[in-house]
Amino acid sequence: MNATAPARPAEDRDRAGAGRRRTRVTLTAGLLGLGVLLLAATALSLAVGSGDVPLRDVVQGVVDPDRSVRAQLVVQEVRVPRTLAGLLAGVALGLAGTVMQGVTRNPLADPGLLGINAGAAVTVVFAMSVLSLTEPEQYIWFGFLGACLAAALVYGVAGIGREGATPVKLALAGAAVSALLISVSDAMLLTDSHTYDQFRFWQVGALDGRGLDVLLQALPFVLVGSLLALGLGPRLNGLALGDDIARALGQRVAAARLTGGVSVVLLCGAATAVAGPIGFVGLAVPHAVRMITGPDHRWVLPYSALAAPALLLLADVLGRVVARPGEVQVGVVTAAVGCVPFILLVRSRGKAAL
């Protein structure tokens, strides 16, 4: 009778270490692949539109445009700001959605959970209706202000009580504040048809018509919010185990949740200022990314930071070509295109749970 000797502890450790190294190599390769996809999406965003632009004019229009050549002028003044807006908004939404789902331990959490979209909407409506502001450059920062105030109100309401802002209380407070703010917005819109005509275009979400000055103003908020979010990976892993276990591991749960909230406010406020309340990206992208990376937020966060802008730019390109010479706004495309894989993802998760 042959007996197999049990593996020695050192051999077990070596095998485990080799497995972790293979996983890191695979995930790093996937991250590089997403970077290539993002570069391709950026190139398509610069080259494709209501009228296609030759590659030579695209490069020249980005580097040193000849203003006498219409194609290069279109690239420089229209498509470069539009592409940069997609990159900024995409990074912000991808990271914000991941952090929201990690902080609240809610797989259906998205940037709207903290009342951010509703807060932005009510202040934009106020700016249009009461202050008579008509240009995006004039009223988009009201959206940022409203997003910040709404998130602060939600955290303040959820933080009442001994337990503080728990995931359940955050979700309930966000739903209540959102309902209140949406009713205020609707009340103002029902009494002002002109404001409603302006607001409905902003509410859809779009990347066009944003100047470089607006993008430069939003950039610091996206950078700070992104750094905070990317540094939260280990803390989000701890929060995923539950507050009690996270505390037992030495984490400061309240500080981690507050840092996550600040990053979400900065990212969502900037994304709303740049592109309006684009939905679905912050909800769907983290779920799709986890199918590749697993639940480790140290990988989910950088993957989402690359996948979300790639999705947003590709959706914007699709919206430009499906209705030539017009276009479909990117917020409509992300909702229409993204719902199908998300439904399939939900079905696969449901079958796995059976």
Work out the angle at residue 221's Cα, subtended by the Cα atoms of residues 165 and 35, and round it to the nearest 5 degrees. 100
Name the amino acid, one letter, at 297: H
For residue 192, the number of C-alpha atoms closer than 13 Å in the C-beta half-sphere is 20
Amino acid 94: pLDDT: 92
Q: Where are the domains of the chain?
A: 32-346
Q: If DSSP codes are grouped into helix, strand and coil, which group holds residue 109?
A: coil
pLDDT at 354: 38
* pLDDT for the residue numbered 276: 79
- Read off the tokens for 287: 């779920």
Amino acid identity of residue 313, one-letter, is L
The domain 32-346: what is its CATH number?
1.10.3470.10
pLDDT for the residue numbered 241 = 79
pLDDT along the chain (354 residues), means of 10: 53 54 80 93 84 72 72 78 91 92 80 77 83 72 82 82 72 85 85 76 76 83 93 87 78 83 86 82 87 89 94 89 78 77 63 43
Kindly state the tokens that stand for 267: 């990212």
- pTM for the model stands at 0.84
Nearest CA to 144 among 130, 126, 124? 124
By C-alpha distance, which of 238, 226, 239 is closest to 170? 239
pLDDT at 270: 85
> What would the two tokens of residue 169 be?
């209380």
